[in-house]
Amino acid sequence: MPDPGTGEPLLRTAHQLIVENDDIANTLELPRLTTRLDVIREICHHLAPYQAGERPIIGATVIAKDLTIDSLAIMDMVMELEDRFDVSIPMNVVAEIHTVDQLADTILDLRAKR
């Protein structure tokens, strides 16, 4: 399965260790291996309990509007994501994030800058 973000083949995600080449995979660092898909998946996992009706959670879902999550729970979710992806997202940055896509991009940007 190619990484939808980079088009490169997916070696492994942090969740499921799909190791295609033992030697290389073990020497690679986690940062390069976290894909956009991983991040989106993790966000959706946290947002699932707040899904409103049958509407699926997609990249364009507006977190505070399309779901039943309140602002405090959003901040708590961000704290979990911070630890999962080892980045810190300042509160003023969180305030500017509206959609699932934007949240994922923010996390990936912060990871790239580390």
Partner 1 sequence: MGLFDRHAGLLEAYRDVRTTGADPFQIRMERVLSPTEAVINGRKTLLVGTNNYFGLTFDPSCMEAAIEAIRAEGTGTTGSRIANGSYSEHVFLEEEIAAFYGKKHCMVFTTGYQANLGVISTLVGQGDHLLIDADSHASIYDACKMTQAEVVRFKHNDPSSLESRLRRLGDKPGNKLVILEGIYSMLGDSAPLKEFVEVCKKYGAYVLVDEAHSLGALGETGRGLCESTGVLDDCHFIVGTFSKTLGAIGGYCVSNDPDFDILRVTVRSYMFTASLPPSIVASVRQALRVVKARPELRKQLWDNVATLYDGLAAQGFKLGPEHGPVVGVHLPDRMLAIGFWRAMLDAGIYVNVAVPPATPNGVSLLRCSVCAAHTPEQLQHMVEVMTGIGRQLGVISGAPKLRVVAGSR
Nearest residue (CB) to partner 1, 8 versus 83: 83
**Tokens (6 digits) for 1:** 């399965």
Nearer residue to partner 1 within complex by CB, 10 or 42 = 42
Q: How far is CA 60 from CA 55, 87, 98, in A?
A: 12, 22, 9
| Residues near partner 1, by CB under 8 A | 70-73, 75-76, 78-79, 82-83, 86-92, 114
Work out how close the CB of 72 gets to partner 1 at its nearest, in angstroms, rounded to a whole number: 5
Q: How near is the Cβ of 114 to partner 1 at its closest, in Å?
A: 8
Which helix (DSSP H) or strand (DSSP E) does residue 102 occupy?
helix 100-112
Alpha-carbon span 81 to 42, nearest angstrom: 8
Q: Which residue lies nearer to partner 1 by CB, 10 or 106?
A: 106
* Least gap, CB of 9 to partner 1 (angstroms): 29
CB distance 110 to 87 below 8 Å = yes
